[in-house]
Amino acid sequence: MRIFITGATGYIGQRVMARVLNQGHEIHALCRRQPDGELFNNPRVKIFKGDVVNFKTVSDAIADCDQAYHIAAYSRTWAKDVKIFFVVQFDRPYDSLNGWQGRKRVSHVSRLSGDSLGVAAQYDVKAGDVIQMKIGISYTNVENARAKLQREVGAWNFDTIKNESKATWNDWLGNIKV
């Protein structure tokens, strides 16, 4: 069986590709850029460079395929005015927190809210000093960002958090039947 996959270079797309290949199928993978990695070097994978919004590219890639898995997301068409709420926690106090809102700079703040803003924590560091931070994000509100930070980012060790996240994703993706 030959299967067409969009979004093959993404996290979920690569897991779906691995399952499809393990089942002995061929893949036509639509990729915006030249992919790298072992999966894409498999002789049963044919790469089609292009974008999901290009009808000809998609038509060429899906030709002679028995099934299609559309995993890609083209967010520019629906994510024009996205608000992202975030909460940051540092492993040690900062000397000052500065920021900006639009073109206006602000100094020594403890909190900022609104559109088009950013923050910069200032530290007096010496060679070898390590400063860690955790970030919780939400597309709905700051309370959800804070809850996600507390619930999902418990450890200060990056590898621990990465491995926990990977295990969670793999558990969820293990439920997909291809």
Q: What is the total count of domains within the chain? A: 2
58: its two tokens? 């998609």
Q: How does pLDDT run across 35-46, given as a tens digit for each residue?
A: 888 889 999 999
Question: Does residue 76 surpass a pLDDT of 60?
Answer: no
Query: Minimal CA–CA distance to 156: which of 134, 128, 123, 129?
Result: 134
Residues 90 and 168 in one domain: yes
Question: What is the Cα–Cα distance from 156 to 154, expressed in whole angstroms?
Answer: 7
Instruction: For helices 11-22 and 158-173, give the axis angle rounded to 10 degrees.
Output: 50
In a domain, 178, yes or no: no
The residues facing 98 across adjacent strands are 120
DSSP 8-class letter at 90: E
In a domain, 8, yes or no: yes
37: containing domain: 2-76
Residues 72 and 121 in one domain: no
Report the relative pairing of strands 85-90 and 133-138 from DSSP bridges. Answer: antiparallel
Q: How does pLDDT run across 31-70, given as a tens digit for each residue?
A: 988 888 888 999 999 999 988 878 888 888 998 898 888 8
Residues 68 and 90 in one domain: no
Residues 107 and 60 in one domain: no
Residues 56 and 92 in one domain: no
Question: Does residue 77 surpass a pLDDT of 60?
Answer: no
* CATH number assigned to the domain comprising residue 51: 3.40.50.720
| pTM of this prediction exceeds 0.75 | no
